[in-house]
Amino acid sequence: MDGNGRWAEARGLPRVRGHEHGVEPVRMCIRESARRGIAALTLYAFSSENWQRPETEVDSLMGLFFDALVNELPELHANQVRLRFIGDRNRLSLPLRERMQVAEHQTAGNRGLRLQVAVSYGGRDELVRAARALAAAVQRGELQAGDIDEAQIAAVLDLAGLPEPDLFIRTGGEQRISNFLLWHLAYTELYFTPVLWPDFDAGAFDAALQHYAGRQRRFGLTGTQAAGQDG
């Protein structure tokens, strides 16, 4: 969800105003995903690298995130959204961690859209945490090192239990994945748009889905083989 700061600066506003205006596109994506029957949606809200930003901006982002949790949770719960947070929570404040835990617990039994919000998340950090978890299991005698395979690794990653992502959308014009879901995006279709996040509306979301609909997903097969499987 890139471009909040640039959107604000182009209007002579503080960067935090861009983050505030970025809340509505979040709501839109959740509503549209639920309406279209999309099973899972993961939003990259705050990266492990974002901690390097000015302290005032980080504090504003954390405050905005906390307020959004308080304000949006009733509607999410009423619409059967199951909320989960991924990333390293150790650097987050205790009140925010507690609010996140409450939200996860309250929505754990919901059967609708599975919504993941990445906070203090980095793809490399996720892989390090997964490696440590598997190493600890080997040390405890619960697992043999030679038995570690892709399935074992996937089971200890932050998105364990979810299907691999079909579509990656990045707004703001940059064409890179910026340390997001490094393991999971191996065969994901990538879509980049110059639209800044606060301007990302239902039409822009639909354009991304239409792009995905026109792709042939081959997973290493030839186009003829993939077409045969699709048929």
Tens digit of each residue's pLDDT (9 = 90 or more) over 15-61: 999 999 999 999 999 999 999 999 999 999 999 999 999 999 999 99
Task: Identify the helix (H) or strand (E) that includes residue 68.
Answer: helix 55-78
Judge if 122 and 141 occupy the same domain: no
Judge if 8 and 57 occupy the same domain: yes
Judge if 120 and 53 occupy the same domain: yes
Q: Structural domain of residue 141, as residue ranges?
A: 130-162
Output the pLDDT for position 224.
72
Catalytic residue selected from 50, 79, 110, 179 = 50
DSSP 8-state symbol, 176? S
199 is known as an active-site residue: no
Number of domains in the chain: 2
With beta carbons less than 8 A apart as the criterion, state whether 190 and 177 touch.
Answer: yes
Tens digit of each residue's pLDDT (9 = 90 or more) over 169-225: 999 999 999 999 999 999 999 999 999 999 999 999 999 999 999 988 666 666 676
Judge if 45 and 141 occupy the same domain: no
CA-CA distances (angstroms) from residue 28 to 25, 83, 142, 201?
A: 5, 16, 44, 7
CATH code of the domain in which 41 resides: 3.40.1180.10
> What is the sign of the dihedral through the CA atoms of 135, 138, 144 and 149?
negative
Judge if 53 and 157 occupy the same domain: no
Q: Among 119, 140, 162, identify where a domain stops.
A: 162
Tens digit of each residue's pLDDT (9 = 90 or more) over 112-133: 999 999 999 999 999 999 999 9
50 is known as an active-site residue: yes
Judge if 46 and 136 occupy the same domain: no
With beta carbons less than 8 A apart as the criterion, state whether 158 and 89 touch.
Answer: no
Judge if 9 and 63 occupy the same domain: yes
Judge if 65 and 142 occupy the same domain: no
Output the pLDDT for position 225.
63
Judge if 76 and 50 occupy the same domain: yes
Judge if 88 and 158 occupy the same domain: no
Judge if 54 and 9 occupy the same domain: yes
Judge if 148 and 42 occupy the same domain: no
DSSP 8-state symbol, 165? P
* pLDDT exceeds 60 at position 158: yes
Tens digit of each residue's pLDDT (9 = 90 or more) over 85-117: 999 999 999 999 999 999 999 999 999 999 999
